[in-house]
């Protein structure tokens, strides 16, 4: 358990690093990538040549006997929600940092990017249940509060269920939002919930994984423990078949994630814990700006 002084020190370090990255690298890219994607209904007016027929209001048109179009306007502020997997599997990491360390840093950068752009930011911390809900608000204090909760919240759940987080997000967030899902996605059967959320919101997944998630080193017999269930077993990493099956399972899980996000019309980024997440985020923001 971290002391109060250690918590404040950690949050302060995250603030300094994130604000520097935000001001130096991300503010322009973030703004261009997401501004204008949130549209709200403004009014109904008579249909004019060139109007998109998808926006015809058929109820009003039927009432008046000729076509009317719905008019939308750009929302001046966006809501950014961070859905962060804090299950016990997020504590794994063999190089550079744990998955949760990386997720926390990325969350800090995204939070300060949103705040510096005048947007609201909130979070859902989840395992196989909702561990903490932070309603979206504006301002620096909101970002700092969010980081304190992320640094200090310990999961009560024993597993990971993204479906639970996505359904909670849909039920609590009516306004179209940008949602970043930070997880290792060691989960299954969340495709339907993701499609429902993707129909209403702009969903971006960030899959954070360790190199050993993909490839086991040849170290002979190893005793490993499942972080979520506590079960222990011996694994013969010197066996080529065992290593092959481990890698095959990693790609099976990755393929499911890719397909689930594709069907939801959402983006999925892949980030290894020893990679530079700054470059990965930058490339993504820049790709969003291309026509």
Q: What are the tens digits of pLDDT across the range 14-55?
A: 888 787 777 766 666 766 677 555 555 567 888 887 777 777
Looking at the structure, tell me whether residues 263 and 128 fall in a common domain. yes
Q: What is the mean pLDDT of residues 197-211?
A: 93
Residue 272 has pLDDT above 60, yes or no: yes
pLDDT for the residue numbered 72: 59
CATH number at residue 147: 3.40.50.410
Residue 19: Cβ within 10 Å count: 18
**Domains in the chain, number:** 2
Measure CA 9 to chain center.
25
pLDDT for the residue numbered 26: 63
pLDDT for the residue numbered 96: 77
Q: What is the mean pLDDT of residues 203-227?
A: 85
Regarding beta strands 232-236 and 221-225, do their DSSP bridges make them parallel or antiparallel, or are they unpaired? antiparallel
Q: What pTM was estimated for this model as a whole?
A: 0.79
Looking at the structure, tell me whether residues 139 and 280 fall in a common domain. yes
Task: Tell me how many degrees the CA angle 239-245-249 measures, rounded to the nearest 5.
Answer: 150
* DSSP 8-state class, residue 56: B
| Lookup: tokens for 99 | 């998955």
What is d(CA 33, CA 218) in angstroms, rounded to the nearest whole number? 43
* Interval 129-170: pLDDT, tens: 999 999 999 999 999 999 999 999 999 988 899 999 999 999
Nearest of 95, 176, 163 to residue 127 by alpha carbon: 163
Looking at the structure, tell me whether residues 16 and 47 fall in a common domain. no
Range of the domain at 138: 4-34+76-289
pLDDT for the residue numbered 93: 73
Looking at the structure, tell me whether residues 158 and 271 fall in a common domain. yes
Looking at the structure, tell me whether residues 45 and 157 fall in a common domain. no
Residue 186 — φ and ψ, nearest 5°?
-80, 70
pLDDT for the residue numbered 25: 60
Kindly tell me the burial class for residue 165, based on how many C-beta atoms sit within 10 Å of its own C-beta (0-12, 13-18, 19 or more): buried
What is d(CA 69, CA 274) in angstroms, rounded to the nearest whole number? 51
Q: Grade residue 206 by pLDDT with cuts at 50, 70 and 90.
A: very high
Sign of CA dihedral 170, 155, 279, 22: positive
């Amino acid at each position: 358990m971290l002391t109060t002084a250690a918590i404040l020190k950690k949050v302060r370090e995250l603030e300094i690093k994130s604000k520097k990255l935000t001001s130096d690298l991300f503010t322009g890219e973030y703004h261009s990538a997401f501004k204008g994607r949130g549209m709200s209904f403004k009014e109904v007016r008579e249909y004019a040549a060139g109007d998109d027929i998808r926006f015809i209001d058929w109820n009003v048109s039927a009432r008046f006997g000729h076509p009317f179009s719905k008019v939308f306007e750009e929302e001046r502020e966006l809501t950014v929600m961070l859905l962060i997997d804090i299950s016990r599997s997020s504590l794994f990491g063999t190089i550079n940092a744990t998955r949760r360390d990386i997720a926390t840093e990325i969350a800090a950068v995204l939070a300060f990017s949103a705040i510096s752009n005048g947007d609201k930011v909130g979070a859902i911390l989840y395992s196989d249940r909702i561990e903490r809900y932070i309603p979206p608000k504006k301002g620096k204090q909101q970002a700092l509060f969010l980081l304190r909760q992320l640094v200090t919240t310990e999961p009560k759940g024993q597993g990971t269920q993204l479906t639970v987080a996505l359904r909670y997000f849909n039920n609590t967030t009516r306004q179209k939002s940008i949602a970043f899902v930070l997880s290792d996605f060691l989960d299954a059967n969340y495709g339907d919930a993701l499609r429902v959320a993707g129909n209403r919101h702009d969903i971006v997944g960030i899959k954070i994984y360790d190199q050993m998630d993909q490839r086991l080193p040849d170290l002979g017999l190893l005793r490993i423990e499942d972080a979520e269930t506590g079960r222990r077993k011996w694994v013969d990493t010197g066996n080529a078949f065992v290593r092959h099956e481990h890698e095959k399972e990693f790609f099976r899980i990755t393929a499911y994630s890719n397909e689930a996000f594709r069907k939801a019309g959402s983006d999925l980024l892949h980030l290894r814990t020893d990679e530079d997440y700054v470059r990965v985020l930058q490339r993504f923001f820049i790709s969003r700006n291309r026509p």
